[in-house]
Amino acid sequence: MRIAAAADIHASEVSAERVVRAFADLRGEADVVLLAGDLTTSGEPEQAEVIAGACRQLDVPIFAVLGNHDHHAERTEELAEVIGGAGVRLLDRECATCHVAELELGVVGAKGFVGGFPGSALPDFGEPLLRGVYAETSAEAEAIASGLQAIVHCDVRVVLLHYAPVVDTLEGEPPGIHTYLGCDRLATPIAENGADLVLHGHAHAGSFEGGIGEIPVYNVAVHVTGRNFWIFELDGSGVRRGGEVVEVREPPA
Ligand SMILES: [Fe+2]
Ligand SMILES: [Fe+2]
């Protein structure tokens, strides 16, 4: 199963041509496409039209989550309509399955949220506003848990996030902003329920590889991968919970 993944495309009218070309280049190279948020520059439906147009060129399943940039204009319902109209399955604290390459793929999609990591963790204490932020991340984590439980039968289980669930893939980012780049509480349900592959974006200056125990985690922000899409190959017979199941290869130029 070839999974093409990218995050932080930040599409706009300005980048339309480049984005459309990037997706066109993917034809025949992937069995499924996963987009890990920040699809648009500032969440305007016109920017989502660019992604929708690019996705319409492909005839493989496409799953996506939104990122913080997609929320900026507070028009996420319109975004969902535009992107959904192009056949993209937008996942917001939910899961979906499909059959690709003779395997059943299950994808749990959630934006994730902030909260930090040991040394930078936001506590569940004090002002209601701050506790609300903590609660929002908790709700994301709960959705990841129930999503993974719902796709437990799938041959390949992927968690698609925007925010980082581990600190490994933030390497390169200033530690002072780790709190805003992700939260280790997102990793807990993944460690508890298992997954074959975890993808996220958001940390443009972060690094590519990390892990939740033996579960591989990749930051697929295009700024990190240095390419339009990174293609992961998962062999159905070899797929199991744990490491060394994900082969990474560079897509053709
Ligand atoms: Fe981004
Ligand atoms: Fe982001």
Q: How far is CA 20 from CA 3, 27, 56, 166, 204, in A?
A: 19, 12, 10, 31, 21
How far is ligand 1, taken at its centre, from the CA of residue 112, in Å? 13
Q: Distance, CA 150 to ligand 1 centroid (Å)?
A: 29
- What gap in Å lies between CA 121 and CA 117, rounded to an integer? 5
Please state, as a whole number, how many other Cβ atoms lie within 10 Å of the Cβ of residue 193: 20
Contact 236, 156 (CB under 8 A): yes
| Burial (CB count within 10 angstroms: exposed 0-12, middle 13-18, buried 19+), residue 104 | middle
**Maximum separation of any 2 CA atoms in the chain, in Å:** 53
pLDDT tens readout for residues 233-251: 987 654 443 333 445 545 4
What CATH code is carried by the domain that includes residue 23?
3.60.21.10
The total number of structural domains in the chain stands at 1
Q: Which ligand is nearest to the CA of 9?
A: 1
Question: In 86-226, where does DSSP find H-type helix?
Answer: 128-150, 188-193, 222-225
CA of 169 to the centre of ligand 2 (A): 14
Q: Which domain holds residue 225?
A: 2-249
Q: Which pLDDT belongs to residue 236?
A: 61
pTM for the model = 0.94
DSSP 8-class letter at 167: S
Q: Mean pLDDT of all residues in the chain? A: 93
CA–CA distance, 104 with 90 (Å, rounded to integer): 18
| pLDDT tens per residue across span 164-204 | 999 999 999 999 999 999 999 999 999 999 999 999 999 99
- Residues 6 or more apart whose CB falls under 8 angstroms from that of 58 comprise 23, 26, 27, 33
Q: Give me ligand 2 centre to Cα 8, in Å.
A: 7
Task: Tell me what the mean pLDDT of segment 106-119 comes to.
Answer: 97
3-state secondary structure of 30: coil
pLDDT at 252: 43
